[in-house]
Amino acid sequence: MIFYWCDFVCFYFHLRLTDEDTRRNYEEYGNPDGPGALRFGIALPSWLISKEYAIWVLGIYALLFMIVLPVVVGSWWFRSIKYSADCVLLDTRQMYKYMLHKTPNLVPKRAFDLKSNYNCLMGEYNYSGLLTILSGSYEFFKVCNSEIIERPSDDVEVPNLIKLLPNLGETKKERPFCFPYSVKARALIYAQLKRIPLPPKTLRQDANYIAKKSILLIQEMIKVHAHLVNLALMGRISRMPTLESLDNTMKLGPMFIQAMMESKHPLMQLPHFSDEIIRSIVTKKRNVRNCADLAALPDVERRSLLKALSDRQYQDVLSVLGNMPNIDMNVQFVVRDDDDKDTITAGALVTCVVKLCRTPLLDVPTNHGKRATLQQWKSAELSSAVSVATDSEGASNPEKDSNGYSSVQDNGSLVDGKEGTAKRKVWEKVKKKKKKYVPKCASNSKRKPAIKKSLPKTVEPAKIVPVILVLILLEEKIWFFIMLFDSGDGSEDEEYLLNDPDLKKERAILETKSNVTHPVHCPYFCDEKYEWWWIFVCDRKRRLLVAPPIHVTTLINEEEIEIKFPAPIKPGQYVYQVCLRSDSYVDFCQFKDVKFKVHEACEILTHPQWDFSEEKTDEEQLDESEFTEYEDEEESS
């Protein structure tokens, strides 16, 4: 109201203004008095600037900015410097370095086992195993980690658990493995791997926390192993960790996620499998060593092998096999930024290009006993993604095949159109999801023709796919249009830069990709896990790690990874092995040997016109001295 009143007063005086300058000021600046300065202010209470409370206000400011703020920043700083970039305690990392350097050859055995390997390099028994080193991590210590809970019931429950685990090594005196926290962590680790039932409100919660934390610690242990290999190659340490130790460390991740010991059969990852069923499958006539061999069998032979399972249990097994990965790996060694990329010279920087293609281990089974093709699998995944995206708008309408059956749901199981909803499998985790309305098939609609309800319209995948492809192409090629409009008429150099495959790959590396890939079937693991992979290059003949391991976390359908390493110095024939290991499934690994020849490095030709010698002749020095004397005479004149 004040602003409106001011405008009214100014307008009233404007009507009565007789001075031309005043009228002009009002017409130009909106004010008869001319342009006014714009003022800003902060509304503060009067007591804040009064003399009575000045001392209290200054005291509060001094308390906040001179005591509280430095204490908060200092506590945060001293707490953060204890952790590495991967949120692992630096003390734990130092302990890993010490133990891996002390015992280069480690196996995933029980610690302090009298049957452990003899370490010839040290001249003493190798008592420390990978699981023991893992149990000694300071993340499981209450003093270093406030998330650890120590209960009075541990004094009773932990000794009872240790009795079930003989030769645990709780009586040894090697630090830090003799501390109570390490003994408890080691007992819970073996309880997780042996699938021992634990009290749900006490030790089960501790075991879940240790299993979840161990995945991160295993990744840190692999990085420490690669770091020690680099230090050994530079000559900074005397012993190098063996390649077998790295392989055994990578095996720990799937063991924790699938809750399996190393001695267990890989088929124990499947639901409803037991030792009796595995004994009936693994015979001399049939060579079923892992899940891939079971998936490769014909349907009739596979069903005859699993005759001990019911039809529903057999469908659960097929569903899990359909979610498991089958990787096709292609490897090529090239030399970037060289005219002849296929020729490898001594000491050159070699780029290992690995192309991974992920397909289901088994085609998606239907309720009729048939198996869907790979194209139907991809369309089923697309329809499930579309149904999830359209849940917020209304009821989803899943696609149906020619037989009237719905598409694949999120967990990989198929929904029967006659039943309406998918039943939760025994091996699946319970997840809270919104209720979805699934329309009945045509056969049920004939039974009740009187009532016809208009179903909410959903977006068809066939209409969404072109839009998504157009958006992706626009996102990838937007820089092309920018350069095209800026340059006007393009030149040959610009066309080369736009079409160069190496530059396209470098731009693709800068793009951020999601780590959410395919979910892993892990009913004994406390958290949701996605398919990730380890890939590295090694020399099996010399037992040497050539390139550090790379953690592949973005493989959904296809992925291309580049691993760079220096070529051998001596010319000759070499055989390197590219290893791919899953960090989620047991015995899901691939090894591909690559033979290549190292040629002698070409000599660099020296051109005499570019050879500037530092030594000068007497004539050149005489000419320079005469030239400087002439300049001095001109300056003096």
Nearest to 382 by CA among 374, 370, 393: 374
The single residue listed with the structure tokens 């409370």 is 53
pLDDT tens-digit readout, 352-363: 999 999 999 987
Assign residue 586 the CATH number of its domain: 2.60.40.150
Question: Across residues 405-413, what is the average pLDDT?
Answer: 37
Helix (H, G, I), strand (E, B) or coil at 580: strand
561 with 531, same domain: the answer is yes
pLDDT, position 30 = 72
Q: Are 437 and 391 in contact (CB under 8 A)?
A: no
Q: Are 258 and 291 in contact (CB under 8 A)?
A: no
Do the domain assignments include residue 627?
no
Q: Are 549 and 222 in contact (CB under 8 A)?
A: yes
pLDDT tens-digit readout, 410-422: 333 333 433 344 4
pLDDT tens-digit readout, 536-547: 999 998 889 999
Q: Are 384 and 408 in contact (CB under 8 A)?
A: yes
Tokens describing residue 82: 């204890």
- Pairing assessment for the beta strands 325-334 and 118-119 based on DSSP bridges: unpaired
CA R_g for the chain:
36
- Residues sharing a CB contact under 8 Å with residue 54, sequence separation 6 or more, in sequence order: none
Higher pLDDT, residue 203 or 7 = 203
pLDDT above 70 covers a percentage of the chain that reads: 64
Do the domain assignments include residue 312?
no
Assign residue 102 the CATH number of its domain: 1.10.3380.10
pLDDT tens-digit readout, 182-214: 999 999 999 999 999 999 999 999 999 999 999
- Residues 528, 521: Cα–Cα separation, whole Å: 9
The residue out of 217, 235, 253 marking a domain boundary is 235
pLDDT of residue 608 exceeding 70:
no
pLDDT of residue 595 exceeding 50:
yes
Average pLDDT, the chain: 75
pLDDT, position 491 = 53
101 with 221, same domain: the answer is yes
Helices 492-499 and 461-487, packing angle to 10 deg? 150
Nearest to 596 by CA among 565, 554, 630: 565
6 with 123, same domain: the answer is no
Helix (H, G, I), strand (E, B) or coil at 242: coil
pLDDT, position 445 = 41
Do the domain assignments include residue 113?
yes
The region, left, alpha or beta by phi > 0 then psi within -120 to 50, assigned to residue 204 is alpha
193 with 68, same domain: the answer is no
Do the domain assignments include residue 270?
no
Do the domain assignments include residue 76?
yes
150 with 228, same domain: the answer is yes
Three-state secondary structure string covering 591-630: EEEEEEEEECCCCCCCCHHHCCCCCCCHHHHHHHHHHHHH
71 with 131, same domain: the answer is no
15 with 150, same domain: the answer is no
Do the domain assignments include residue 229?
yes
- Residues 359, 378: Cα–Cα separation, whole Å: 10
Do the domain assignments include residue 576?
yes
pLDDT, position 496 = 53
pLDDT tens-digit readout, 256-267: 999 998 889 999
- Residues 433, 430: Cα–Cα separation, whole Å: 9
- Residues 205, 199: Cα–Cα separation, whole Å: 8
- Residues 392, 389: Cα–Cα separation, whole Å: 7
The least confident of 52-66, 104-118, 343-357 is 104-118
List alpha helices for 81-153, DSSP H. Answer: 90-102, 130-135
Confidence tier at 604 by pLDDT (50, 70, 90): low
Tokens describing residue 425: 């499998």
94 with 217, same domain: the answer is yes
Q: Which domain holds residue 58?
A: 48-80
Count CA atoms within 13 Å of residue 491 on its CB side.
Answer: 4
18 with 153, same domain: the answer is no
Domains in the chain, number: 4
Do the domain assignments include residue 292?
no
Residue 268: C-alpha distances to residues 248, 260, 367, 435, 630 (Å): 19, 8, 24, 33, 95
Residue 505: C-alpha distances to residues 353, 395, 555, 561 (Å): 11, 41, 16, 10
150 with 182, same domain: the answer is yes
Confidence tier at 283 by pLDDT (50, 70, 90): confident
29 with 106, same domain: the answer is no
110 with 171, same domain: the answer is yes
Positive or negative torsion for Cα 539, 540, 541, 544? positive
